[in-house]
Amino acid sequence: MAITVDTATHAGLDPSLISRLTSQLHSTSGQSVEVVSPIDLRHLASVPESNIDDVITAFASARMAQHAWANRPLKERTSILLRLHDLLLERRDEILDVIQWETGKARRDALEELLDVCVNARHYARDAQRLLSPKRRRGALPVLVGAEERRLAKGVVGIIAPWNYPLSMAASDAIPALIAGNSVVLKPDDKTLLTALWIVDLMHEAGVPDDAFQVVVGDGLKLGKDFVEQCDYLMFTGSTRVGGILAAQCGQQLKGCSMELGGKNAMIVCDDIDLDRAVTTAVRGCFANNGQLCVSMERMYVQRDIWDQFVPAFVDRVKSLKIEVGIGWGAEIGSLISAAHLQAVESQVQEAVSKGATLLAGGRARPDLGPFAFEPAVLSDVSADMTICREETFGPVVSLYPFDSDDDAVRLANDTRYGLNSSVLCRDVGRAKAIGEQLHSGTVNINEGYAAAWGTLGSPMGGMGDSGVGRRHGDDGLLKYTEAQTIAVQRALGYGPQFGLSDERWGELLSTAVGLMKKVGMK
């Protein structure tokens, strides 16, 4: 591994910035959450913690603000989110610093977050008119009935965002919710509060009313139940275990939810690949954001005929990855998020090796580089009795398996309770698509790991099976934050017997009319 330690070149975040961010919180608990950098365990901030009363107050004020926000012209709402797009690019260096200090990730991975939010803002601002404008629909009886479909805001959307992409997950779901006329209350993960507060502050600067986008801070075990009770719709990104608990609460309260949950994503490497390109794509697909990415590859199936060529080239590339713990450009791999997460990732690797797996690269904690630094790991000879075979690792670890035929690869890739993302590396695109169409996952990337599908915002993204419900991106990514309302106008004649006809004769007349409508090609 190429190693650099760089924590001395930055003194930390500007105290005035932290003061500005934390001042927007209205907490009555008297408690605070301490934000500590995984780079060097530096204390970054004390953030006021919310209690249940604070959660209730936040939702109440958001509800009051929502009506006025929804009544603003759609063009005004979209222009505010386009202003956010421009402000993000103007403040790029500041937010990249904040993300790196809080997550320890490589700067290029932090940039990916910023660009994702920009593209989301632009996409939904420009598609909003098409999606939200009232639409005429064919009435039950031509000419006699007119119908219009309208889209109304849900009310107050609650967003629970994870730590792994703290900017993207805090903002990219809020953007379509706000454009649709909702207000938003965000509960970010306690490890990445400053990033969340930063983007909320920027949205306020762009023109979103203060009460229309708010933050509450605290442990989900303490606040989660009341958070779900107060919101009108829930967007959650996180583990399958927690998602199941929250979905049950939403079901009991008859409110909608959308959830992107865990994954054990598979990459299939076919025998006709361009070796260099495939290795580069596979390394990025497995180890972007240090593997702390719900759509990253944790299982790789390599066709047996190219195993002896692909695997050594892949392992050599992994061993050459540049690990750098610090602020600034240049790193390919940064730090894991916390001691607990490091222990969880390391324990899966150690258990697999103890049961007979072969460690081909990495797999070691590197406290000499940073408190939570970990060398990306590549394993082979992984069997079904190992935790790493079935359960999500959510770290820089991939297990390699051989396969013989395309049918074999599909069977192996689908042998999981998850269904979030998958990848097929194959020079023959027709063959790759035929494989992809059989994979049980919400997105399939051909000759890419995750970015092709994730970045295609016009198409929905989400999971099957234990990987979630609902979709972000695409039309669904905005329309899910709305209620559909139909207004139908009866212009003449009712549905009961007319012209003094009996029920029987009226029924015959209606049946004849319905048959004629089919003959002339009407829906």
Backbone Cα Rg of the chain: 26
Check if 260 is active-site.
yes
Check if 113 is active-site.
no
Whose tokens are 């970010």? That residue is: 188
Q: Please spell the DSSP secondary structure of 27-72, one letter per residue.
A: --S--EEEEE-TTT--EEEEEEPP-HHHHHHHHHHHHHHHHHHHHS
Q: Which amino acid is at 339?
A: A
List 231, 294, 389, 426, catalytic entry:
294
CA 402 to chain centroid: 30
Question: Could you give phi then psi for residue 333, rounded to 5 degrees?
Answer: -130, 130
Q: Please spell the DSSP secondary structure of 140-207, one letter per residue.
A: SSTTTEEEEEEEEE-SEEEEE--SSSHHHHHHTTHHHHHHTT-EEEEE--GGGHHHHHHHHHHHHHHT
Q: How many CB atoms lie within 10 A of CB 344?
A: 14
| Angstrom distance (rounded) from CA 296 to CA 266 | 9
List 113, 260, 324, 346, catalytic entry:
260
Any idea what DSSP says for residue 9?
S
Question: Could you give phi then psi for residue 455, rounded to 5 degrees?
Answer: -80, -10
What amino acid positions are annotated as catalytic residues?
260, 294
